[in-house]
Every structure is written in C-alpha cells, then in structure tokens.
Structure 1
C-alpha cells in the first residue's frame, strides 16, 4: 500500500505519502489564496523526498471537506485526475475527521468537537466521541447558535480559536494535515471499512452567485 493524500478544504495545502504503516513524507503550507498554485509542487516535493515516482502510488486519499468551494475543489479535482491517470482508487475522508484523528483525543477523555473556519462568521463543525468516532454529521452554523451544544467541550481546529466565547477549551491542531488523513484512511482500509466517495461536502452554496435581474442585451 502506498497512499498519496491531499487536502485543500482549509487554508492549509497539505500533501503526504503513507505506506500503510507510517508517513513516508509530508508537506503543509498555509495560504488560503494559493491552493491551485501550491498543490502540485507540494506533490512533487513529497514524492522527491520519499524517492518515489507517482506511478508507484496504489491509492489516492482526498479531504472532502466541508470547506469553501474554491479551495476544496482544487484537491478533489487533482485527486480525481491522479486516480484516472494512474488507474487507482480515490478515497474520500471528511476533513473534520482528519483533524479529530490528529488531535489524539481518546474516549476516556470525553466527547469533543472539531470546528474549522467557514467564513461569513460561521464554522464547519461536528461532535466526536473519540479521535475515530464522529457522533454528528458535519454542519455549518454561527458559533452563537451552537454555543449550548458545545459548551464545556474541548474544541479542535481554527474555528475554535476564532470564537473563544463559544469554544472555551480550544485545542490543536489548527489545520488538517494530509498525514493524519492518510493514516486514518490506511487504518480504515486495513480494517475492511468502506471510505466515502471523493465528493465534496460544501454544505452551502458558493460565495460567487449569478447576478439576479441582470439586463439581457439582444442584437438589434
């Protein structure tokens, strides 16, 4: 097994190569405006560090969000392209699940939440029993609207750091890492679990909209 993992659902452009047991090489850069520019060079860098060619990869893992439309589609389209070119499976992993896994919080430590920045003064979030077990479907909400639901719980991710009045016990990591996504995917695949299809979790319409009531100009 040699998994190439990518995620662009958060400001982090993150890539990792995982051999089914350990991370072989990884790269993460935080730049919310340059996902398309940074992703492929990061893939090249990770492969070079590992001393591995792209055609040695046996599977692709991609973060499916939730995340903003523009950034999220970069990783998904790249993953689909690699999968088609290499004729290997493409596995989706919820980006929030990758953050939860990286946080390393086990069941004995109690439930916790993961929250990422959804912009528009909202967060993408979900509740977890432990690092491997999500209790709720990913959602997008204003922090004040979920304050009661998350009160007193540890909270992982950039969204928790942005809204300390709601998330009173923020924890790291701030952004997802492809290394965590790949490790989680490798663990689930080894256990015979089926991973989600590589389809985006947008949860809301894109920021860019077709103008309403625009004037139609017809030739005379």
Structure 2
C-alpha cells in the first residue's frame, strides 16, 4: 500500500492505432523497444533506463542517484503524437459517428524489491486528452498514477484506463486483477487473473509469456503463466 512500484516495461511495446479520417481508413503502427525518448512525454519519476521505460525508481542505488525515495512514487509516460479516436459531424448524427479501433501490447515487470517487502500497487494503460498528459499530485499507491483523493471520479479527468492491480482495496475483487476504469480508480468492470493462471507480481522469477486481452463487455482472454519477470 503506497510503496514504490518497481516497474519496468521491457522488450518491445507495440502500439497499433487505426483511425477513420474522412472516407479513408488510416493505420498507424509503431514498435518501441528500445524506447525513443523523443516520442514520449515523461512526468514525475518516469525515466528511460537501458532502453526500457521505467515509471518509478526500482533500486536503492537509483534512490541515492536521483535523491528520490522509493516509497509513494508514481510516474507517467504519454505518446507525444495524439490520435483522433472518434469523429462525428456537427449537431451529432449517430449514423455519421465513427470510432477508431486500436490495440496495444507490452511487457512489464512489477514485483517486490526483495523478500518481506510489498510491491507497488500496479500500473495502468491510459487514454486521455492531449492536455491531460501531466500526473496528478499524490497519485501514488492505490491511485495508480491516474487520480488522487480529490479528483477521483471527476468527469473532468477525461480518462479511460486498463489497470493491472496487485494490491486489494475494499472495492477490488482480489490482489491480482485487471479492470476497466473511467475517470476513477474504482473500476467499472474487473476480472481476477488468478483463475486464468496469470500472476501480476510473483514472488520469484517468472516468464514473460502472459497475454491478457480485454474484450467487449469486460471479457478477458488469457494465455501464459505470468505478466511479470
């Protein structure tokens, strides 16, 4: 609860965005790994390390290096290039309403720094408006870098997120789940990963062959053993 997330997105991160513009279908595809710092906006403790995107410090050495505590940390990384995901005509005609589709896949690690320690709360994949790239203050711990005690649930947050949560709060199903969040850390839909054989924050070493697909209606499809390494 509130401890630093030892989180490093490693290897390749594939971001595929498909947007509808006028009558033509345009596709954008990018693969990151190693990451190109020029393509991202970083906030708070987020940084790049050894070609990977690191949202918070993950060792006592880094803590001394950057004079930053490991506890109560959060970071955010946003693509600099915005994407138009929805388009409609003035006056709103539902028949002309067009919504883009996209998919993103990535590898990440969130685990304890050592034995008898608690891992960070998790992380979230976020979609928000271009001017909302900054990190809310005190958004560490259960807020997953999305909101804070004052802003949680506010429609002005203008965000949709998929959370990967490994610490149970009173509103969570367990300490190993994914959730669909809209403007709040209280998920609209959740699904435990334990029955699917996936563990977000394993105690020891684990493979990175886990796959989670969040489908229509909050359905979850999985493959593999773990989403951490």
TM-score range, shorter chain: under 0.3
Specify which structure has the bigger relative contact order, considering alpha-carbon pairs within 8 angstroms and separated by 6 or more residues: 1
Q: Relative to total residues, which structure has the larger strand share, 1 or 2?
A: 2
Q: What TM-score, normalized by structure 2, do the two folds share?
A: 0.26
Q: Relative to total residues, which structure has the larger helix share, 1 or 2?
A: 1
